[in-house]
Amino acid sequence: MRHRYSILFFPLHVIVDFLSLNMAFVGAYAIKFHSIEAVSYPPYASLLGLFNLVWLLEILVIKPYIYPRQLFKADHLIKKLLILMAIHIAVISVYWVAVKGYYYSREHLLITYALFTSLAVAFRIGSLVFLREYRARGYNNRRYVIVGYGKLAASIQSFYDTHPEMGFHFYGYFDQPSTENHGILKGNYDDLSGYIEKEGIDCVYCCMPYIDNGRLRVIVEDAEVVDYQVKLLVDFRGFLARGASVEYHDFLPVLNLSSQMLADFQVNTLKRSFDFIFSAAALGLGMPFFLIIAAITRITSSGPIFYAQERIGREGRPFKIYKFRSMYVDSEKSGPVLSGGLLDDRITPWGRFMRQTRLDEMPQFYNVLIGDMSVVGPRPERQYFIDQIVEIAPEYRSLLKVKPGITSIGQIKYGYAANIDEMVQRLRYDLLYPRRRSFLFDMWIIAQTLRVMAQGRGK
């Protein structure tokens, strides 16, 4: 049995909220004045009338009780309630000031809103629990089919299978038969219309990668006659993860695939200002300390103090990165070779200590100062290794859209990589950065880096 009683939820919700509002008002009056006799006389009678009128206008204008099943969640329901409450309080406050109603008890108003909020939240949570259980038992359901079989189609079925509380029951796939969907389909396109009428299908999901516009147009036109919903599934997940947005040219929606997050002027301006100030302070205040490191580097092994190497920065632009030398001279005379970790015999004893404490990276504050790097960002690599990484993990290219940094999530969680596989593993951490980039997140990464340096846990 389908038990379609959802239409009753709207009037029930309205009635319960009005009852809760009036009960809260009268109950607060009783708590404050230990009686309810005078509440039906001015001035509180007029205030109660205004309470109800404002709430009614909010319902008519905002329509707070209309939402799809996918949004029937506690946080969404309570958020809408709090918005209504805030507007209601604001209107009542304006009225209070306008009529100079200082004779109204502020304590009464405070108790009223506290009681009303408690009752309204309790009703919403109770309704949510009841409907989820009711739908999970197979009642008040919606029947749906999916037109076009593939990974995207399977994902929407999986979603509803794991959320039975939404009450969506799957009734089959429809597509042109092929070896890929053999034995899976309920029917082909020609069978769809009759099946919808026979089974009373409520919703038809159409997957754009697998259905042409002509077939889609027929399904939409039939929906007007048979009375079912048509929902379009387009796989934008890979684009939206990069910060894509929708623009409207009159009535035409256009998907903007340029990452707004990476091009955000305020974020970039704040980050560059912080980088400049932080690196200048680090170089200035740390100069005596850097001179000591330089002296030890020169004394403990022959060769230059600094080591310069070409790395690839933002948008693929090469630059020279600077470090305190931690390896013996000519360690890569046979070609580019990754460090084999702290046990690599090419690393000097003092270099091993610098790597553990990240002191070898300190000269890169100069790279930050001149704009080649940032304090926080994915570690830059050489083109030789980038080519190999991209073959295994093409998503590495997305890291080239942000400025490389001295420290990163990968450096904290993983450390130095000894081979391509380890570089790819570290990449999994660094890929989080472009999507979560913010000033506070940068501060967290810097704090974690200082902890690693103090504990000497760099590898």
Distance of CA 236 to the CA centre of its chain: 15
Topology adopted by domain 142-235: Rossmann fold (3.40.50)
Q: Encoding tokens for residue 47?
A: 């205030």
- CA–CA dist 91, 62 (Å, integer): 15
Instruction: Look at residue 21 in the predicted model and tell me its pLDDT.
Output: 94
8 A C-beta contact, residue 403 and residue 362: no
C-alpha–C-alpha distance, residues 25 and 19, integer Å: 10
Q: Identify the pLDDT of residue 67.
A: 59
Q: How many CB atoms lie within 10 A of CB 275?
A: 23
Q: Are 436 and 410 a contacting pair, CB within 8 Å? A: no
Per-residue pLDDT, 107? 93
Tell me the C-alpha distance between 205 and 170, whole Å: 11
Helix (H, G, I), strand (E, B) or coil at 214: helix
Please tell me the predicted confidence (pLDDT) of residue 341: 60
CB 301, CB 350: distance < 8 Å: yes
CA distance 75 to 53: 26
Q: Which residue has the tokens 């967290």?
A: 444
pLDDT, residue 135, reads 73
In the chain, DSSP finds a helix count (H) and a strand count (E) of: 18, 11
Q: For position 2, what pLDDT does the model report? A: 45
User: Which among 452, 453, 456, 400 is positioned nearest to 427, based on CA atoms?
Assistant: 400
DSSP designation for 333: T
**Domain coordinates of the chain in residue numbers?**
6-136, 142-235, 265-455
Per DSSP (E only), the strands in 7-150 are 142-147
Task: Tell me the pairing of strands 318-324 and 306-312.
Answer: antiparallel
Provide the pLDDT for residue 1: 41
- Per-residue pLDDT at 3: 43
Question: Strands (DSSP E) along 162-224, which ranges?
Answer: 168-174, 185-187, 203-207
Q: Residue 343 has what pLDDT? A: 67
Alpha-carbon distance 241 to 187, whole Å? 34
Give the closest residue to 154 by CA, choosing from 173, 169, 130: 173
Q: What is the pLDDT along the chain (459 residues), one digit of tens a residue?
A: 444 555 566 788 889 999 999 999 999 999 999 999 888 888 899 999 999 999 999 988 887 776 566 556 777 788 888 989 999 999 999 998 888 888 889 999 999 999 999 999 999 888 878 877 777 776 778 899 999 888 778 888 888 888 777 778 899 999 888 888 888 889 888 899 899 989 889 899 988 777 777 888 889 888 888 888 898 887 665 454 445 556 655 556 666 655 444 445 556 677 888 899 999 999 999 899 999 999 999 999 988 999 998 999 988 899 999 999 988 887 776 666 666 566 677 889 998 898 888 888 899 999 999 999 999 988 888 888 888 888 888 888 888 888 899 988 888 887 777 778 888 888 888 888 877 777 788 888 888 888 877 776 655
| Cα 145 to Cα 180, 190, 200, 226, distances in angstroms | 18, 14, 11, 15
How do strand 185-187 and strand 245-249 relate by DSSP bridges? unpaired
